[in-house]
Amino acid sequence: MCGIIGIASNKPVSINIINSLKKLEYRGYDSAGLATLTENKINEKKCSGRVDDLEKILFKTPSNGNLGIGHVRWATHGVPNLVNAHPHSSEQVSVVHNGIIENSDEIKKDLESNGLKFKSQTDTEVITILITEALKENKPLESVFKTLQKLKGSFALGIIFKNFSNIIIGARRGSPLAVGYAKEENYIGSDSYALKSMTNKISYLDDGELCVLTKDQVSFYDQGLKKINKKIYTMSDNDAVVDKGEYKHFMLKEIYEQPTTVKNAINEYIDSLKKDINIYNFPIEPNQINKIVLIGCGTAYNSCLTAKYWFEELTSIEIDVDIASEFRYRKLKFNTKNLYVFVSQSGETADTAAALDLCKKNNVKSCSIVNVVESTIARNSDWVLPIHAGTEIGVASTKAFLGQLTVLYILCLKIANLRKDISQNIYEKSIKNLKNLPEAIKKSIDTETKVQLMAKEFIEANGSMFLGRGFSFPIALEGALKLKELSYLHAEGYPAGEMKHGPLALIEEGLPVIVLAPKDKYFEKTLSNMQEVIARGGKILFITDNKKESLNENIRFGLRVPHLDNFLSPILLTIPLQMLAYHVALLKNCDVDKPRNLAKSVTVE
């Protein structure tokens, strides 16, 4: 997803812009660029490749200037190429943009009919032209303000002006924008992470707000252009150091970090002495909760789906699960006794943030389960439960998924206990099992050598299928999602019992079918469904936690993960699937940490 940066300083900024753009690379992008100001001239440099390529260009032809903006672009309007890369500059103004201008075609036609010319296919260039036109009669802030009033859609913007060489203007509607402060230097950035190496003092623009930065001060304005003050947050620096260490990829490192991720969540929420869970300040008294609605996208949605099975088994509360991009447009019956739970690693996902906004507008209570505590979703919700997974860089979410599952399960146990839906004995036993989870995860990771062998079964495959029932069904979905996003191999996740209602038609000789069969109440049924697949030539790759199950000759490959209790089996089954996706991607020479077409933080709709 696009990322923006802006720096106003008392010293040259291009190197720090490049360094900050490198921090934004995790979002996924296809081109990069920057613009600095020198002696009232806009110096624009861009390239259609990586930030490293931009750095090489700068090395050959340096850009001076104590003020500048930078951008990594993830194409929405117009192919990824040099012309469409940001910034988009006229002689007067240079603009970087994250988001989508929905009425850009309309505006473009109008401007073209007045004789104005466009260089790119982007929606962003209309902003450049509109501001340039407005500057003929207005000062910079008024010009930007007037332009914003004509735009529909979402944006975070960074703008510099040839004739006003000491200011950067930032604006936000929909897409996030952070502001950072340091001595004789101020910043804007798509997220706090991009600014982290320069400052830990951060403010966030809310929707409709603008800011004007000089090296010495930052002024904020609301949507009516009235001057306002913003709160300054001091960021924690616990995840300031982010590198691959001894690992070949961030994803592998993050898979191996999972025992610690889960331990962090357990340490945060479990009181071992009292055998209790430290979760307080519920926005709705648990006994009064009518329904819990769990909302997320992609992997976060899969963790919501897993939690639905936990809540249904352990509590008396009705549960709904929704994909945020659907939720935000549905005609819903909001109820003030419902708790709306938003799950997001980044806390910046546009669809999830919009679904949360909808809840706010309807005056219902929200909880967010996020990794980034400074994020938009965390700041906008009534109640925040951080997962404490540390920075996740790999585009394919791994440790954040396990962190989300752990916190959702802990929340479920606490609510079940407070509502007296489960006995004290089961509550304490479940807490005890949870404490053994990090060790069991380590053992699950130890299956890697076997998983590597399993991965070879996918080299020639044209597709694959992941099957599970009950708690294992969402994990089948997550396994399929991981495999397709990393290896670009078609993968379907299905409830095993659903196969005969259609998907069995896809089974052909040698199709890899991963069967998740923990020893739970569905075990025998899953085995029967597996037989239906075997009978049609499917190649079975079987994953279980059942010690007693001996693998028969119809199973091509079998793998055993540790068992703690049935509720924790989805967590332990996830790990071989993450590693499977990783190793298949390696065998297919795919870019594991930055899969094609994907972004880490999806800040556009």
Q: Which is nearer to ligand AGP, 299 or 417 (CB)?
A: 299
Catalytic, 600? Answer yes
Torsion angles phi and psi, residue 77, rounded to 5: -105, 110
Would you say 136 and 147 are in contact if contact means Cβ atoms under 8 Å apart?
no
**Contact call for residue 396 and ligand AGP (CB under 6 A):** yes
3 state SS of 279:
coil
| DSSP assigned state of 288 | G
Using CB under 6 A as the binding rule, the residues of this chain from 299 to 328 that contact ligand AGP are 299-300
Q: Which amino acid is at 599?
A: A
Look up residue 198 and give its two tokens. 């320069």
Would you say 57 and 21 are in contact if contact means Cβ atoms under 8 Å apart?
no
Please identify which residue in 190, 352, 406, 447 interacts with ligand AGP, judged by CB under 6 A.
Answer: 352
Q: Which is nearer to ligand AGP, 143 or 601 (CB)?
A: 601
**Contact call for residue 258 and ligand AGP (CB under 6 A):** no
Helices (H), 328-423: 350-361, 376-380, 399-418
Minimal distance in Å, beta carbon 332 to ligand AGP? 20
Closest residue (Cβ) to ligand AGP? 298
Using CB under 6 A as the binding rule, the residues of this chain from 460 to 489 that contact ligand AGP are 485
Q: How many CA atoms lie within 13 A of 439 on its CB side?
A: 7
Would you say 77 and 123 are in contact if contact means Cβ atoms under 8 Å apart?
yes
314: left (phi over 0), alpha (psi -120 to 50) or beta: alpha
Torsion angles phi and psi, residue 209, rounded to 5: -85, 155
Minimal distance in Å, beta carbon 566 to ligand AGP? 25
Q: Which amino acid is at 435?
A: K
Would you say 268 and 388 are in contact if contact means Cβ atoms under 8 Å apart?
yes
Minimal distance in Å, beta carbon 74 to ligand AGP? 13
Please identify which residue in 140, 174, 298, 493 interacts with ligand AGP, judged by CB under 6 A.
Answer: 298
Q: Which stretch binds ligand AGP (CB under 6 A): 107-115, 393-401, 519-527, 562-570?
A: 393-401
Q: Which is nearer to ligand AGP, 213 or 297 (CB)?
A: 297
Q: Which stretch binds ligand AGP (CB under 6 A): 3-11, 101-109, 389-397, 496-504?
A: 389-397
- Alpha carbon distances (Å) from 525 to 75, 110, 312, 553: 46, 63, 20, 19
Spell out the residues 6+ positions from residue 424 whose beta carbon is closer than 8 angstroms to its own: 417
Spell out the residues 6+ positions from residue 248 whose beta carbon is closer than 8 angstroms to its own: none
Instruction: Give the containing element (helix H, strand E) for 514.
Output: strand 512-516
Please identify which residue in 344, 366, 376, 464 interacts with ligand AGP, judged by CB under 6 A.
Answer: 344
Q: Which is nearer to ligand AGP, 465 or 483 (CB)?
A: 483
Minimal distance in Å, beta carbon 373 to ligand AGP? 13
Using CB under 6 A as the binding rule, the residues of this chain from 484 to 523 that contact ligand AGP are 485
**Contact call for residue 30 and ligand AGP (CB under 6 A):** no
Catalytic, 162? Answer no
Please identify which residue in 66, 84, 349, 472 interacts with ligand AGP, judged by CB under 6 A.
Answer: 349
Side by side, the strands of the sheet bearing 383-386 are 318-323, 291-296, 338-344, 365-370, 383-386
CA atoms of 419 and 434, how far apart (whole Å): 20
Q: Which is nearer to ligand AGP, 123 or 348 (CB)?
A: 348
Catalytic position from the list 2, 304, 367, 412: 2
Q: Which is nearer to ligand AGP, 251 or 266 (CB)?
A: 251
Q: Which is nearer to ligand AGP, 344 or 366 (CB)?
A: 344
Minimal distance in Å, beta carbon 183 to ligand AGP? 33
Q: Which is nearer to ligand AGP, 485 or 593 (CB)?
A: 485
87 preceded by a cis bond (ω within 30 of 0): yes
CA atoms of 461 and 360, how far apart (whole Å): 46
Minimal distance in Å, beta carbon 385 to ligand AGP? 14
Minimal distance in Å, beta carbon 453 to ligand AGP? 24
Catalytic position from the list 215, 365, 594, 600: 600
Interface size with ligand AGP, residues (CB under 6 A): 16
Using CB under 6 A as the binding rule, the residues of this chain from 34 to 73 that contact ligand AGP are none
Minimal distance in Å, beta carbon 244 to ligand AGP? 18
Would you say 347 and 384 are in contact if contact means Cβ atoms under 8 Å apart?
no
Minimal distance in Å, beta carbon 257 to ligand AGP? 16
CA atoms of 379 and 191, how far apart (whole Å): 13
By the criterion CB under 6 A, which residues form the site for ligand AGP? 297-300, 344-346, 349, 352, 395-397, 485, 598, 601-602
Residues assigned a catalytic role: 2, 600
